[in-house]
């Protein structure tokens, strides 16, 4: 249990549970560069509820990764209000409210798989016995039992990324922020990992924010799809997906899937200026 979850559990009535996990209102972010300011995010408003699987989709430079970094307090916004679990992103980060999965696995090459996974637990001061127990549990979740003693270079790219997901899950955060975690993998492995991720999400009931630029990936995974466009980075459309739970890859052949994918594509087209 994270410190945040404990805090929430201590409050009777559980009214706080009804609060959105992430609330963003009037968010702007401007990078001051040498020649001209870059408007990375412009007037972004968004609410993410507990248990949601939200995808940010858009072309490169639309600010989807930046938006997630703001939520994670890896980037400070220029103006606007961001709340994570009802508190500021910085307070949420200090309370270890989220697990972050990066585009690259970012494993530490001098640590074995096991010790990569226990890294956040070591930092948080979890006792060794519990570290090992938690590591065993998350390794099972990502189907990597038996690889504890391997070093990262001995694993394939897909396995490395699964280790990084296990690492983010190890301290059991309520919120998972995933920045194109499968972007560097081939489509066959990506399909497989998407299905595994969906099963994982259903089992753990976590809130997931997922950045992607793949339309099928976004539609397949999400309960809510946030379509973004560049220059300035802004939200074009928010699509609540009514695809059933327990989806399998077959759902991509369905009529409803095609309709949602079409709406995403329309949004991307509307937002994209073809002048350049």
Partner 1 sequence: MRTEALPRPRAAEDGLVARLVAGSTLPILTIAAAVVLIWYVAAIFLNAPVLRDSYERAGRAGVTTQELIADAWAMERPILPAPHQVAFELNKTVFQIDPTSRRSLVYHAWVTLSSALLGFAMGALLGIVLAVGIVHVRTLERSLMPWIIASQTIPILAIAPMIIVVLAAVGIVGLVPKAFISAYLCFFPVTIGMVKGLTSPEPIQLDLMRTYSASTGQTFFMLRWPSALPYLFASLKVAVALAVVGAIVGELPTGAQAGIGARLLAGSYYGQTIQIWAALIGAAVLAGLSVALVGLVERITLRHMGARP
Least distance (Å) between residue 228 CB and partner 1: 21
User: Considering only 53-61, 156-164, 202-210, 260-268, which stretch makes contact with partner 1 by CB under 8 A?
Assistant: 156-164
Q: Under the criterion CB under 8 A, does residue 39 sit at the interface with partner 1?
A: no
| 96: nearest Cα among 7, 163, 193, 160 | 7
Q: What angle do CA 26, 30, 34 make, to 5 degrees?
A: 170
Joined together, the tokens standing for residue 175 give 């919120």
The C-alpha atoms of residue 176 and residue 51 are separated, in whole angstroms, by: 10
Choose which of 25, 79, 156, 254 interacts with partner 1 (CB under 8 A).
156
Map residues 103-122 to x or -, x wherever contact with partner 1 holds by CB under 8 A.
Answer: xx-x-xxxxx------xx-x
| Shortest distance in whole angstroms from residue 135 CB to partner 1 | 15
Torsion-angle region of residue 155: left (phi > 0), alpha (psi -120 to 50) or beta?
beta
Among 49, 147, 238, 252, binds partner 1 (CB under 8 A): 147
Question: Judged by CB under 8 A, does residue 62 bind partner 1?
Answer: no
| Comparison of 93 and 252: residue with beta carbon closer to partner 1 | 93
Determine, following the binding rule CB under 8 A, whether residue 94 of this chain makes contact with partner 1. yes
Q: Which of 160, 149, 65 is nearest to 105 (CA)?
A: 160
Tell me the C-alpha distance between 33 and 163, whole Å.
Answer: 36
Among 29, 70, 117, 155, which residue sits at the site for partner 1 (rule: CB under 8 A)? Answer: 155
Site string for partner 1, 160-199 (x = CB under 8 A): -----------------------------x--xx------
CB of residue 4 to partner 1, shortest distance in Å: 12
Q: In sequence order, what are the residues at sequence separation of 6 or more whose Cβ sits closer than 8 angstroms to the Cβ of residue 154?
A: none
- Rg for the chain, CA atoms, rounded: 19
Whole-angstrom distance between the N-terminal and C-terminal Cα of the chain?
Answer: 49
What span, in angstroms and rounded, lies between the C-alpha atoms of 101 and 104?
A: 8
Q: What whole-number distance in Å separates Cα of residue 181 and Cα of residue 169?
A: 14
Nearer to partner 1, 81 or 186 (CB): 186
Contact positions toward partner 1, by CB under 8 A? 72-74, 93-94, 96, 98-100, 102-104, 106, 108-112, 119-120, 122-124, 143-144, 147, 150-156, 158-159, 189, 192-193
């Amino acid at each position: 249990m994270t410190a945040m979850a404990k805090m929430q559990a201590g409050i009777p009535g559980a009214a706080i549970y009804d609060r959105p996990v992430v609330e963003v209102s009037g968010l702007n972010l401007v990078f001051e560069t040498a020649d001209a300011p870059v408007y990375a995010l412009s007037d972004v408003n968004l609410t993410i509820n507990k248990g949601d699987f939200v995808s940010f989709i858009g072309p490169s430079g639309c600010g989807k990764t930046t938006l997630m970094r703001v939520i994670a307090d890896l980037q400070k916004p220029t103006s606007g209000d961001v709340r994570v679990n009802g508190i500021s992103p910085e307070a949420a980060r200090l309370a270890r409210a989220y697990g972050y999965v990066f585009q690259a696995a970012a494993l530490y090459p001098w640590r074995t798989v096991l010790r990569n996974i226990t890294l956040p637990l070591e930092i948080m001061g979890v006792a060794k016995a519990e570290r090992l127990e938690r590591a065993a549990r998350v390794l099972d979740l990502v189907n990597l039992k038996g690889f504890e003693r391997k070093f990262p270079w001995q694993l394939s790219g897909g396995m490395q990324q699964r280790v990084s997901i296990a690492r983010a899950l190890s301290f059991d955060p309520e919120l998972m922020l995933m920045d194109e975690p499968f972007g560097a993998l081939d489509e066959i492995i990506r399909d497989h990992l998407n299905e595994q991720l969906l099963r994982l999400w259903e089992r753990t009931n976590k809130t997931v924010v997922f950045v992607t630029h793949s339309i099928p990936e976004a539609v397949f995974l999400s309960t809510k799809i946030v379509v973004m466009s560049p220059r300035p980075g802004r939200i074009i459309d928010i699509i609540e997906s009514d695809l059933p739970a327990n989806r399998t890859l077959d759902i991509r052949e369905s009529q409803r899937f095609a309709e949602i994918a079409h709406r995403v594509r329309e949004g991307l087209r509307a937002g994209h200026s073809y002048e350049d």
